[in-house]
Structure 1
Amino acid sequence: MSTELGEFVVEGGHRLKGEITPQGAKNEALQILCAVLLTEEKVTIHNIPNIIDVMKLIDILKDFGVKVKKLAEGSFEFIAKDVNIDHLQTEEYSQKASKLRGSIMVLGPLLARFGKGKIPKPGGDKIGRRRLDTHFLGFKTLGAKFDYTKDGFFKIDATDLHGSYILLDEPSVTGTANVIMGAVMAKGKTTLYNAACEPYIQQLCKMLNRMGANITGHGSNLLTIEGVDRLGGTTHTMLPDMIEIGSFIGLAAMTQSEITIKNCRIDELGQIPTVFKRLGIEMEFRGDDIFIPAQESYQLDRFIDGSILTVADGPWPLFTPDLLSIVLVTAIQAKGTVLVHQKMFESRLFFVDKLIDMGAQIILNDPHRATVIGMNRQSHLKGIRMSSPDIRAGVALLIAALSAEGTSVISNIDQIDRGYQDIEGRLKALGAKIERR
């Protein structure tokens, strides 16, 4: 097995204790950073996570001529006054954008401000089909004309963007964000229905409104956008990463650890605390912190009629798909049985074969559903060698390794680094035995 992308060596079976602070939200960062392209004026953003995907996107912004100044850890100043739109034609842009799925988010701002855009087919996690139709159908309804060229580029002409009624074919978070940014300076009114309404979208709308946009309805799936002539600068602070918060809740339960998760913005977590409570995990809200006590055991809830609990994902305000991997691994040592139903991505549960190799009692019913029979700590997972297939599965495997007996080796950890800032350093501070090599 190749280790060229690095690996974690994890000695499991140790209880952890202490405080941990979640990083800024990765999924918010990718759209908030691209929004700086909408104005010539200074935009200051705080709580930016220092992770691979985010730093790659900042690098792409620099290539366009955006002046980037680091003010402090996690705080940056951006000035997109002298944007070189011709950079779209370069091989350097093609190479960098094709390796980062978040690069799709530059399109909306570029179309709105410069009337044109171009992007190679983006990369990212291999977690199933992640089509881009929502982005392009939205732009097309706003008046953009686009081609998919033979060399694998999406090329868009948006010299005449005008407000329109748009019914999105799916409530895609990135699709919604891109169309919002494309519409903020279009002529007239845009009505966006079946829009995503995740906290990240709400954050983007609040930021754009501070910049001078006229967006109403954020927090619902019906947005109204009155086009404006220009946008100005602003200061924005990103939310903590809700996926990290859920991951740390699962980590505490699996390792029987007492952990306090700091500065969680509990008011923005939606169903996340509720779902983990249904797994039997005790938690206490202390101001804006979540305290997880060390638990010897935790019992899975059942539905009112006594049937087996099902945890499924869906568009906000339903449970986020990014945490189903964590729910699945956390259920391994629970008392009871749960069906995990991954509705949105058909390849995201395939990592369970590694958990089964560790000794977990899991049945993979089909690409979308897995049944976990909790072991209630009657037997322990054992350390093995494994590879991280994507960001969220990688952290689920890391949690499993920290709870297992013996040593595990997890390779391909750049997948984990793409989404989690200094994860081994922060876990070591809690007492985890983990080394990078």
Structure 2
Amino acid sequence: MDYLEIKGGQTLNGQVAISGAKNAALPLLASTILAKNPVRLNNLPHVADVRALVELLEHLGTQATWHTPNSLEVSTSPTHCTAVRCTAPYEIVRKMRASILVLGPLLGRFGKCQVSLPGGCAIGARPVDLHLSALEKMGAEIAIDKGYIVAKAKKGLRGCDLIFDKITVTGTENILMAASMAKGQTRIINAAKEPEVVQLCAFLQAGAWKLAGWGAGSSWCRAQIERL
């Protein structure tokens, strides 16, 4: 069995650069799809999952510019949105399962999308069923076709009360982003409270969305659009 042997007695000194959290960076990157103005994210961890999601954003038609290895500017302005392709292909999604996070913002902003299931056409229970059932309650029409989630909301999404049967971090994040573009108020009951979810809430609030219910012991979240 491998082990680490640490011998003390030495003075430690120096500096260590602390990278941003990958689990927080991924939903923030996905949420840039919602913004009509360029968004700059700093202290992004320079890891494969972040690069894979940026690759997916570029495939979708956004413009991504790296200013440094840890600082990225993403634009989905009307100029670039004319080229937006609302299909997230399996070839990219398979590289990183959190790519499912583009489902909520794409559907919320553009009213349609096709996103590959993380496992492609694999038979069995889908890990995103909670995401899909919540979006259906918000008015989306969803079908599974050849390993792709085909989602439409011709009249836009509408706010409602949602209860997750079990706590899901990516499900909470996906619905938060979708709800930020929905008409009316959405309340998520049994919402995840991980730090990356709280960070996403803070990011959405900075972009002019109103959220409440996040506090010590809170297990629900209310999201309501203030302005677009």
Report if TM-score (shorter chain) is over 0.5: yes
Residue of structure 1 in register with 2:85 after alignment: 86
TM-score between both structures, scaled by the size of structure 2:
0.85
CA-to-aligned-CA distance 1:299-326 (integer Å, 9 cap, x gap): xxxxxxxxxxxxxxxxxxxxxxxxxxxx
- The residue aligned with 1:98 is 94
Q: Which of 152, 158, 161 is equivalent to 2:147? A: 152
SS of 1:156's equivalent in the other structure is strand
In structure 1, the partner of 2:209 is 213
**Structure 1 residues 72 and 145 mapped into 2: Cα distance closer, same or farther (>3 Å)?**
same
Measured against aligned partners, the alpha-carbon deviations of 1:47-85 in whole angstroms (never above 9, x if no partner) come to 100110111101111112211122223111111122334
Distance 1:96 1:13, change over 3 A: same
1:97-118 per-residue CA deviation (whole Å, 9 max, x = no partner) reads 1332011000111011100121
Q: After superposition, what is the alpha-carbon deviation per residue over 1:83-137, rounded to whole angstroms, capped at 9, x for unaligned?
A: 3343517xxx3311133201100011101110012111215xxxxx871112111
Candidates 214, 220, 223, aligned match of 1:222:
220
Structure 1 residues 16-165: aligned runs within 5 Å: 20-81=16-77, 82-83=80-81, 84-86=83-85, 88=87, 93-123=89-119, 131-149=127-145, 151-159=146-154, 160-165=156-161
CA contact (8 A) 1:161 1:186 kept: yes
Distance (Å, rounded) in 1 between the aligned partners of 2:148 and 2:69: 35
* SS, match of residue 87 in structure 2: helix
Matches within 5 A, 1:387-426: none
- Give the C-alpha shift of residue 199 in structure 1: 1.3
**Aligned-pair RMSD on alpha carbons?**
2.3
Q: 1:169/1:11 Cα in 2 relative to 1: closer, same or farther (>3 Å)?
A: closer
**CA displacement, residues 383-402 of structure 1 (integer Å, 9 cap, x when unaligned):** xxxxxxxxxxxxxxxxxxxx
Amino acid at match of 1:194: N
> In structure 2, what is the Cα distance between the partners aligned to 1:190 and 1:130?
24
The percent identity for this pair of structures is 32
1:13 and 1:23, CA in 2 relative to 1: closer, same or farther beyond 3 A?
same
Q: Deviations over 1:22-43 (max 9, x none)?
A: 3211111110100000012011
- The Cα offsets for residues 410-434 of structure 1, whole Å up to 9 and x where unpaired, read as xxxxxxxxxxxxxxxxxxxxxxxxx
Q: How many residues align?
A: 213
Amino acid at match of 1:63: H
When residues 95 and 36 of structure 1 are mapped into structure 2, their CA distance, relative to the original with a 3 A threshold, is: same
**2:22 aligned partner, one-letter code:** K
Instruction: Tell me which of the two structures has the higher relative contact order, counting C-alpha pairs closer than 8 angstroms and 6 or more residues apart.
Output: 1
Taking the TM superposition and a 5 Å limit, the aligned residue runs for 1:275-314 are none
User: How many angstroms apart in 1 are the aligned matches of 2:71 and 2:143?
Assistant: 37
Q: TM-score, normalised by structure 1?
A: 0.46
* Alpha-carbon separation, structure 2, partners of 1:191 and 1:116: 22
Q: Find the structure with the greater CA-based Rg.
A: 1
Unaligned runs of at least 5 residues, structure 1: 1-9, 124-128, 231-437
Counterpart residue identity of residue 88, structure 1: T
Q: Distance in 1 between matches of 2:86 and 2:127?
A: 25
Segments of structure 2 that go 5 or more residues without pairing to the other structure are: 120-124
Change (3 A) 1:147 1:228: farther
